[in-house]
Amino acid sequence: MVQRTLSAKNLSHAKGGSLLAAYLKLLPFLLFILPGMMSRVLYPEEVACASPESCEKACKNPAGCTNVAYPWLVLRILPPGLRGLMLAALLAALMSSLTSIFNSASSMFTLDIWQTIRRQAKERELMLVGRTCVLALVGVSILWIPILQSAGGGTLWNYMQAVSSYIAPPWCVCFVLGVFWTRTTEQGAFWGLITGFVVGIIRMGIDFAYQAPLCGSGEPDTRPAVLTKVHFLHFSIILSAISSAVTVAVSLLTKPQPPEKLRRVTWWTRNEELPAEEFDDEENEKKDEIIITHELEMEENTNEESVSKVKRCLLYFYHWICGAPATTKAISKADRAEHIKMLTSIEENPFWAKILNINCMIVLLVCTFLLGYFG
């Protein structure tokens, strides 16, 4: 969601998209809990099975039949037309989530890791590496299916919540401290993330290694105390505290960021202006030289009479696979500076800013009420 917010046209669009996602996040109470309750009432001997034996007989999963609660509502109650529509919507939502995750992961690998290894990598190379990374992630996802089936007794809801509690807190802490605490340093954020990731992975590995006894089996729980005494939601609070402590400690022990490096990157410095000379650094000049040189090479290669039609078709297919145009255009420093100034502007229409702020308060109040009332 952060990645798509950064691609918004302006600040109002970014805030509006985030608020729409926040409103949609309130719907799972109706979309998840109520259908599950209805399924338990309609199918008490199947979805509401009370023993591992009855669950194994009903849905081939001794841990429970919650995974089939929604599919059975769709397949057994809805007419054929609506049944296909609901299944298509379910698959579309699943594909949308997968593409978002794959896109974000491949972008992080390509821009943060691959460009560190190959600093002069061209646009087509980065595009090809990103798509190769997506294929690798798809393969890892397929290989992860057996682990997913065994984790949490095969119940998807518990698995998703547990994994989020083990992995998400360090990222949330890093983001919040980076935005609201100007003393946060790169080293502090790095070691806070690494420490939280290692602690979360250790807890997740222990959770996967020791399976909880099946509900209704009457077996004693012989798992370690870190699993039986500390719920994964409580562990997420502990993990957030550990990541925060490491980030703050390392940040205080390292050299703070100079003020010029904090312009427009934190909440307190969001209104500071960027000096014009920051648009004309050596890195951008090198990129311009690479783009211009590559453009001339492409024009020479495509304009040579000796290039056969087969080679032209192969070259066109290569550009199509990489998702990049056959030629690139270099822009001047003045045009780049004006373009960056437009992209980094945080000016808002006062009317829409007020509307968005009111909606933000409404979402916060509704979310607080739901958590307090039902929690």
pLDDT > 60? residue 278: no
Of 372, 373, 370, the residue nearest 29 (C-alpha): 370
* Confidence tier at 279 by pLDDT (50, 70, 90): very low
Element (H, E) at 106: helix 80-108
* Confidence tier at 136 by pLDDT (50, 70, 90): very high
CA atoms within 13 A on the CB side of 128: 11
* pLDDT (0 to 100) of residue 45: 82
* pLDDT (0 to 100) of residue 194: 95
Which residue bears the tokens 């020791």? 210
Of 363, 344, 345, the residue nearest 355 (C-alpha): 363
Q: Where are the beta strands (DSSP E) in the chain?
A: none
* pLDDT (0 to 100) of residue 329: 57
* pLDDT (0 to 100) of residue 299: 47
The span from the CA of 154 to the CA of 62, in Å, is 9
- CA–CA–CA angle 336, 341, 346 (5° rounding): 155
pLDDT in tens, 31-84: 777 888 888 888 888 888 878 888 888 887 777 788 888 888 888 888 888 888
* pLDDT (0 to 100) of residue 251: 95
Mean of pLDDT values over 223-232: 87
Mean pLDDT across the chain: 81
- Residue 182 is encoded by which pair of tokens? 């100007």
Please, what sign has the CA dihedral across residues 130, 202, 1, 265? negative
pLDDT > 90? residue 330: no
pLDDT > 80? residue 343: no
Residue 63: Cβ-neighbour burial (10 angstroms; 0-12, 13-18, 19+): buried
Q: Is the pTM of this model over 0.75?
A: no
Mean pLDDT lowest for which of 193-197, 221-225, 282-286?
A: 282-286
